[in-house]
Amino acid sequence: MAMKIRLARGGSKKRPHYSIVAADSRMARDGRFIEKLGTYNPLLPKGDEKRVQMDLERVQYWLGQGAQATDRVSRFLEAAGVTTAKTRSNPKQGEPGKAAQARAKERAEKAAAAAAATEDAAAE
């Protein structure tokens, strides 16, 4: 059985509240889980201690049993000092899309043409 430590969404529309759970990876996101390990409330400020609450002993138990933490939960565990920080690299994420690149190229061409026109006018 492939175990995951992941988030299960609760709360109403536009008011999310997540439970950190140990579940079989084949179960639905909000479906059956084996054990509730903590909570995550994204509506609270980042510095608030109640934003992420976990039972670290149980989390370590499940990690010892071979459970894999999802990306978001692994970030919580790194912040809590349970696991070591992974190096993440997604260089394409910061790049603008095709349309934005085309607009930037057009703007640069217009600026170059305007600069050339002012130089020509100044030279005369």
Place of tokens 């492939």: 2
Q: What whole-number distance in Å separates Cα of residue 4 and Cα of residue 27?
A: 10
Are residues 13 and 28 in contact, defined by beta-carbon separation less than 8 angstroms? no
Per-residue pLDDT of 8-62, as tens digits, reads: 999 999 999 999 999 998 888 888 899 999 999 999 998 899 999 999 999 999 9
Beta bridge partners of 73: none
Q: What whole-number distance in Å separates Cα of residue 17 and Cα of residue 92?
A: 30
pTM of the full structure = 0.69
What's the confidence (pLDDT) of residue 16?
94
Per-residue pLDDT of 57-79, as tens digits, reads: 999 999 999 999 998 999 999 99
